[in-house]
Amino acid sequence: MPPFRSDQFQIHLTVAGVALDNVSWDSFEGADLKPNMEKYPPGGMAPEQAVGGRRSRSDATLTRAWSPAMMGVYLALEAASGIAAVSMSIVPIYADRVTAAVNGGFPYTGVLGDVTKPKNDAATSSIAYLTVVCSMNE
């Protein structure tokens, strides 16, 4: 099988108390597990020993094109920032655009953080994106 491309994913976000549609978000980045690795330097010049450490998941950033649907929920997302529970699922899909490669995808949970509306710039005609950042549970 060929490797997956970065566009072969469905990204679904649920925010408690906010009525979002089921349309896939455009991009997802982060939510990586990062251990805070520690090492123990024993006395007597013995070799250093890795002992591991606490784990933490980095923030996840999702974007979606600014549209009437996103404009309609923007204020609700902004009001939920910092307090609403979120869940998301990243589902790899095959090139047929339908078949899920992993049943149920990769689930994540956390709390909604930053909600950023797109920049307005009369000098460009690029797609405008709504951005949300979520603080993730381990």
Claim: this prediction has a pTM higher than 0.85? yes
Q: Using one digit for the tens of pLDDT, what is the confidence trace for 70-121? A: 999 999 999 999 999 999 999 999 988 888 888 878 999 999 999 999 998 8
Full DSSP string of 66-97: --HHHHHHHHHHHHHTTT-EEEEEEEEB-TTS
Pairing of strands 33-35, 49-52: unpaired
pLDDT of residue 95: 87
- Count of alpha carbons within 13 Å of 10, Cβ hemisphere only? 18
| Count of C-beta atoms within a 10 Å radius of residue 72 | 12
Q: Which residue has the tokens 């990586």?
A: 32
Average pLDDT on 25-47 reads: 94
